[in-house]
Structure 1
Amino acid sequence: MSDSEAEQFRQFLAGSGDRMFRVALALTGAHHAAEDLLQDALARTFARWRHVRGDPEAYVRRAMYHSQVTVWRRRRRLRELPASSVPDRPDPRDQNAASESRLQLRQALMRLGPRQRAVLVARFFEDLSDVETGQLLGCSASTVRSQTHRALARLREIAPELNGPNTFRESVK
């Protein structure tokens, strides 16, 4: 890789790194896992930087989605499930209701299947259209719509305290 290509990659990372980390955090639900996911996707992108055409952020985002779906599939085979309830006592430093809502949303998202979670993150966190989400996940726009509908219904079922207008969009931002 030439010095100019390395500099292009550094500039790309400086401009997009924070945004991509937030996507990784929404996908994984844990800070350290998000760092690992993003680092892996960036390493793959760096190795193929000469061949990346168009929007490099889309390339990294797709690499993160595919890597995370693989993790979810492995975890599903192991039948490892996250805790089903939040602690009785909230963190005393957390006085903000929005923070509590984000925590509840994160826990509810962890209880969704990998496909539904990926669809919700792409549609509402990244604000992608049905078509863009379908391209990202390798499925049709109608599959995205049906998965979104089912995932939101499941969220309403497992986390009724989050029900309300635009709760998902407000909680992830």
Structure 2
Amino acid sequence: MSRHEDDDQFRLFVQRQWGSLLRTAYLLTGDRGTAEDLTQSALEKTHRRWGRVLRKDAPEVYVRRVMVNTAISWRRRRRPLEVPLLTTDSTPAHDAYAQVEQRHLLLAALRRLPPRTQAVLVLRYFEDLSEADTATVLGCSVGSVKSQASRGLARLRVDFVPPAAQPPVRLEEELA
């Protein structure tokens, strides 16, 4: 066969098998864009050996084998070929002033707690100490640290309401 005839046969093969190959690639990768890339890559590799593929193997089997091997190779690299756009990337950046205000409100709520509970929460969650280390620092039992932390967090959940979650204040209520 001539190179031109091989190319025509390959083109016809791709037209007939594209949907089936793409479906296989999607099942291998779980992502439509990556599946398209995998299918194209496998077809490119197959095209280079198309004359030999026609003589030895069924082309469908060969392309699928190339797809599986390529998918495994891509997964071994453990790095994405493309970085997907995350939903968090499309949202506007957080307002730094709102974050500062939220932190200020949290610290004010923390200061309203009893001193022992405040100390437990600071050591456990701000200083990232273990329960045992917190108990050692405070000279109490681990059980005491657990109960103080539980009560303190429950109270913070009630007392601390971030600014965005607060209902809007009506001007008439504020002036009254």
User: For this structure pair, what is the TM-score category when the shorter chain's length is used for normalisation?
Assistant: 0.3 to 0.5
Q: Provide TM-score, normalisation by structure 1.
A: 0.42
> Larger relative contact order (C-alpha < 8 A, sep ≥ 6)?
1
